[in-house]
Structures are given as C-alpha cells and as structure tokens.
Homo-oligomer: A and B are copies of this chain.
Amino acid sequence: MKPRPTIIDVAHHAGVSKSTVSRVVSDGSQGVSPETQQKVQAAIQTLGYEYNALAGGMRSNRTNLIMLAIPDIKNPFWPEVARGIQDVMDQEGYGVIFANSDWSGKREVDFLRLARRNGLDGILVNPIQVSNAELVNSGIPCVVLGLSPDYPDFDIVGSDSHGATLSALEYLFQLGHRRIALLHGRPQGRPRQARLEACKEFFQMHQLAIPPEWIIEVPYAHAGGELGMRKLAQLQPRPTAILASNDVIAIGALHAAVTLGLKIPNDLSLMGIDDIDAASLTIPQLSTICKPKYRIGEQAARLLLERIRGTSSSPRRIAIPSQLVKRSSTMELSG
C-alpha cells in the first residue's frame, strides 16, 4: 500500500509550489489564476490526492468540525434538532459529529475532552452534568440547547418550557380540570426546574392547591411514564388530568393507562410536550405542545457559527415559542 499523495506531490505534478496547491484546496482558490487552478485540479485528479485534515487542522487550528452532544439518542426530539443543525452546518462547510451520552455524565465529560483534544471548532450541547464553568474552561465556542438558567456564559437556544407548561396547564384548566397531576421528568444529574416553576406559578395564580404526591418524578423515558401512571392511578381522589414533561413520558403513561384499564381521555386527560412524530400516532392521538425542533437546531447552529467566527457579543438567550396542539387525549371535564 503506497502512501497517500501530499500537496507536494500535487505541486510537482502541476509544476507549481505547494503554497499554490494549498490555496486551491483550502481557501476556495483565493488569488489563484484560473489556468493554475486547472493545472492543480488536474494533478489532484490524476494523483487521487486527498486533503489531510489532521495536518491542516494542526497548522490552522481549525477543523471545520463541530460536535452535537445530546443525552438521549432514543428521544425522537433530537433527530429533528440535529437535522436543523446539519442543514445549516452542511451549507457552511462544517461537519457535525454526533455524541450521545445516554445520560451518562462520565461520557458527557469524555465527549468534551474529545472535542478539545481533536480541536473541534464548536460544540452544541444539551448539558446534563457538565457545568457552565467546565464549558467555559474548555475554551471551545459553545451554544447550549435548552433554556436552562445554569449556563449564563453561553448563547442559549430552546423553546420556552416555562411558557409551554403554562399553555398546557391553561388548556387543561379551560377544559374544566382542577385536579391536575404532573409526571415530571427528572434528568439524571441536575434538576430541571423551568417546568416545575411554571406549574407552581400556575397553581398559585388559579389558587389551586396541588398536593405534593401529585407531582411525580420519573426518569426521562418511556418506562418513566409507565411507572408514573401506575402510581397516579392509585391516588385518592384520582387526578382528572395529567401533564407529562415530554411526549415520550406521556406515551409511556398512555400505555400504562391502557394496561390498567383506564380510558384516555374519558377517565383521564393526558398531555405531553414536544410533539414528536409518535405523538400523532398513538391511540388516542396525544394532545401536546409543539416545540419547533428543526428551527431550534437552525438557530443554534447560526449562533454557534457567529461565535466561531468571533462576531461575539454578550450571551444571547433565544426562546422559540411553542404551540398548543389539541388532539384526542384530552377532553372537557364532565360534571
């Protein structure tokens, strides 16, 4: 197996200097005459030259690679976000590396190290365990996905969980529900408070007393929803409506409800948040709050590009509004 040709080989073959070849293969041929470009391209073709990104990156401190670090590849929320990111980044010539930590804090930290060691140009992260300080310390341009209050030093893009929770509760309230329980996703690592606070705010506003046992913390997964529903079903008096932190949990709850013989929405109204594909594919279809996943990805990507390019400013916080989606898992409370 013979060694891969380098720009030097190309240069010889084309009868130019290696700087010229370098200009052609990187800068988009800034300041290279058309004829020379032709010659170089021809040489590249015949030799089968391929750019060595390691060497280039080492010299220039740019890799044109960014990382997307997410906690849960099984949540259909992220692929949509990823698509938005990729479409923007592709266009700008950046490659996107997926990093899925499966809720493991260790793995998350490892990914950060990988990004540093390999000179990635930026990171988009929905952080679970890694802190604001650690992110700052990494020295890599970074945009946080999800409107957490814990990352004051970074641009943040997400949908307004607080607002989404309020709309959902408001909707259930309008349907006549007063006994509303929460299936509250508890991320491994840090607590995620936006939703809970929105709930408290709402309950206070409407002067509803919500007993603590109606707020059930469950893992951020399908099984969490099932677990939570089984607990809720035993409460006396039973809630008339349930709001889950996301659709995955809600769908889990829906399945448990069927198993338990509870009819949704007749016995119990149920809402999720996110509007993942599966939400419109359950029976009954799930009422939820639609988060603009693709646009979150696009926005985040754009902000990261600005950071990378140094068009910096003070951290921005972009909350893309979400939207109520009425389907058939909720109904007016009769009586």
Q: Check B51 against A117 for contact (C-beta < 8 Å).
A: yes
Q: Check B277 against A258 for contact (C-beta < 8 Å).
A: no
Q: Check A222 against B277 for contact (C-beta < 8 Å).
A: yes
Q: Nearest Cβ in chain B — how far from A248, in angstroms?
A: 10
Q: Nearest Cβ in chain B — how far from A263, in angstroms?
A: 12
Q: Check B74 against A76 for contact (C-beta < 8 Å).
A: yes
Chain A, interface residues (CB within 8 Å), range:
35 or more
Q: Check B58 against A116 for contact (C-beta < 8 Å).
A: no
Q: Check A98 against B99 for contact (C-beta < 8 Å).
A: yes
- Number of copies of chain A assembled together: 2
- Which residue from chain B places its CB closest to the CB of A256 in the assembled complex? B281
- Which residue from chain B places its CB closest to the CB of A80 in the assembled complex? B74
**A162 contacts the other chain (CB 8 A):** no
Q: Check B283 against A255 for contact (C-beta < 8 Å).
A: yes
**A306 contacts the other chain (CB 8 A):** no
- Which residue from chain B places its CB closest to the CB of A60 in the assembled complex? B54
Once the chains are docked, how many angstroms separate the CA of A243 from the CA of B112?
44
Residues of B within 8 A of A281 (CB): 222, 251-252, 255
Task: Point out the residue from B1, B100, B252, B258 that lies within 8 Å of A283, measured CB to CB.
Answer: B258
**A63 contacts the other chain (CB 8 A):** yes
Task: Point out the residue from B1, B53, B116, B255 that lies within 8 Å of A119, measured CB to CB.
Answer: B53
Residues of B within 8 A of A107 (CB): 90
Q: A258-B283, A281-B251, A281-B255 are in contact. Are A95 and B79 (CB under 8 A)?
A: no
Once the chains are docked, how many angstroms separate the CA of A90 from the CA of B100?
13
Q: Nearest Cβ in chain B — how far from A137, in angstroms?
A: 9
Q: Nearest Cβ in chain B — how far from A74, in angstroms?
A: 5
Bitwise, A74-92 to B at CB < 8 A (1) or not (0) is 1010010011000000100
**A198 contacts the other chain (CB 8 A):** no
What are 15 inter-chain pairs, A to B, with CB distance below 8 A? Answer: A50-B113, A54-B54, A54-B57, A54-B58, A54-B63, A54-B119, A58-B58, A73-B79, A74-B76, A74-B277, A79-B100, A83-B102, A97-B97, A98-B100, A222-B277
Sorted from nearest, which 8 A-B pairs have the closest CB atoms? A98-B98, A53-B117, A54-B58, A53-B118, A73-B79, A54-B57, A97-B97, A255-B281
Kindly list 20 other residue pairs between chains A and B, CB separation below 8 angstroms, not including A50-B116, A53-B119, A98-B99: A1-B139, A52-B58, A53-B117, A53-B118, A54-B57, A54-B63, A54-B118, A54-B119, A73-B82, A74-B79, A74-B277, A83-B102, A97-B97, A97-B98, A97-B99, A222-B281, A252-B281, A255-B281, A258-B283, A283-B283
